[in-house]
A and B are shown apart, each in its own frame.
Chain A
Amino acid sequence: MVSMQLTFQRVSKIFSNRLGNDSVAALEDIDLRIASGEFVAILGPSGCGKSTLLEIVAGLQAPTSGEVLLDGEPVHSPHPRVSVVFQEDSTFPWRTVAENAAFGLEMRGVRKAERDGAVAHAIELVGLCGFEGHYPHQLSGGMRQRVAIARTLVMNPAVLLMDEPFGALDEQTRFVIGEELLRIWDATRCTIFFVTHSLHEAVQLADRIVVLSARPGRIKSIFENRLSRPRVEAKDPQTYAVLMASLREAIGLTSAVFDPDAPRVRPARAEA
């Protein structure tokens, strides 16, 4: 079995401090079904509970009520077939690219001779051939996220959870690495749960885009994305514009405030 399906059943999360006098409702009644092998983007403003939702799937946090099911089994702790790519740099600076990629298998006690093949394959998939012996500090931010992705790929994940993995990258790099992620997804066919606050990224990558409301995060609307890949605006400006416009409307914010990637209208400058 290559990938797994994910089911959210009325998932809610309330953070309360120890005294219980101050609580934050982060998520409310999340009901969602993600098919095996699907690429779903979770889109919502900062602080709406996207990371919390992802960590609940990862088994790093428990929901206050409700359940997340992986192929029908409730998640209580980190599942061996679920891998996570975090927003922050999570590569280990004391390990080379190859050693970082091998980390998970090494911890599972897989011997070097047996894991070398998987590591080489993962490094090839993320396009880091030739950098196996480099240390993270010798790489750009985008390359370090590729290392983090390679580290998850060697585990042959059924579900890949990604928390704004390219949030710290510039727009250009983000687009390129996004296309590579699609290629990897094509090759592995795992289920991808992709958290982002960028409309462009959600449209570029996902089959379905789930829009969350501001805190507490609730599912506001879900969009099917039927644009053919690669999804560049020029290919089908009409459909692209309609999808963007409906996403913007769902979010209920002006694009300039919500989406830092949106092109800004600059005041024209008089040329000398």
Chain B
Amino acid sequence: MSHAPSTVTIVTARVAFVALLLALWIIGSSAYGSAVLPSPLEVVATILQGFREGWLIHATLVTLSEVLPAFAIAAIVGAGLGIALGLARFWGDVLEPMVLGVYSIPKITLYPIFLVLFKLGLASKVAFGFFHGVFPIEILTQGATSTISPTYLKVARTLNLTPWQTAAHVVIPAIVPAMAVGLRLAFSLTFIGVILAEMSASRAGLGFLLNAADSTFDSRRTLAVIVILAIIGIGTNLVFYALERRVSPARPEARQATLAM
């Protein structure tokens, strides 16, 4: 039996690892020159400048205003569809290959269709972000719903529960851990979808900024935007991980689903 490393050890190792990456970054930046790879300090300075001048804040707000509704719709539609198709075996079986098929397409290739349908502004980003993020939560919710323990459903039947009681007190609590994993993935993918859409065709937002900086070889701005993207991504992931831990009181299967994705 080996002892699990303590939290302190893990955090120390993490800090050391980040320090190592920063050191490599600094070495790389002095080796290639700051025009190619600006140093961390220069990037921080650019971020502060972007906040002072407003362009970085504006772009971040534009992106978030697209991501949040896209995520909300993806979560509601994905979870709702997942439960419905998980319970209605027939339709679940009918649609499953199609869902998985569309899921496996690189979705950005379909973005031009969204542009035609929803024009260049907010609507096309929300719609594409939704489309990019809805699949994992639908697939995970459907999977959890259709594989719910038959014994749980028998317990519900022996107690003569109404369909509503069965849904509210047996089915939904049983799939909450899988749904929490689905929500985290849905947020990540919605966010990525919106950024991809902004990079492809847009007039504002972090993706737009990234594209503009790239085309003028402004690597400081590029890295400044990437740092903001990373902060949003990591921050939201931490929140969703905390949510997952709350809803799955040490249920091993939920942990495994987390790792598998």
Contacts and interface: CB of A to CB of B under 8 A. Distances in A.
Given A80-B160, A84-B158, A94 B151 contact: no
- Between B157, B158, B160, B161, the greatest number of chain A beta carbons within 10 A of the residue's beta carbon is seen for B158
A137 B250 contact: yes
Interface in B111-159: 149, 151-152, 154-155, 157-159
B158 A78 contact: yes
B200 interface: no
A86 interface: yes
A80 B165 CA distance: 16
Contacts, number: 56
Contact of B151 (A89, A103, A104): A89
A268 interface: no
Nearest to A96: B249
B157 A60 contact: yes
Nearest to B170: A92
A92 B251 contact: no
Interface in A127-162: 135, 137-138
A84 B169 CA distance: 18
Nearest to B250: A137
- Between B151, B154, B155, B252, the greatest number of chain A beta carbons within 10 A of the residue's beta carbon is seen for B155
A94 B249 contact: yes
A60 B154 CA distance: 8
Interface in A89-118: 89-90, 92-95, 103-104, 107-108
Contacts of A88: 149, 151
Contacts of A119: none
Contacts of A82: 158
A206 to B, nearest CB: 22
B173 interface: yes
A95 B158 CA distance: 19
- Between A80, A82, A93, A138, the greatest number of chain B beta carbons within 10 A of the residue's beta carbon is seen for A93
A90 B152 contact: yes
Interface residues of A, number: 25
B169 A107 contact: yes
Nearest to A148: B155
A83 B249 contact: no
Contacts of A60: 154, 157-158
B38 to A, nearest CB: 49
B249 A78 contact: no
B176 interface: yes
Contact of A90 (B151, B161, B165, B176): B151
A137 B249 contact: yes
B251 to A, nearest CB: 6
A107 B249 contact: no
B149 A94 contact: no
B158 A94 contact: no
Nearest to B155: A90
Given A83-B158, A90-B151, A94-B247, 20 more contacts: A60-B158, A78-B157, A78-B160, A82-B158, A84-B154, A84-B155, A89-B151, A90-B154, A92-B152, A92-B170, A93-B249, A94-B173, A94-B249, A95-B173, A103-B159, A103-B169, A107-B169, A108-B159, A137-B249, A138-B250
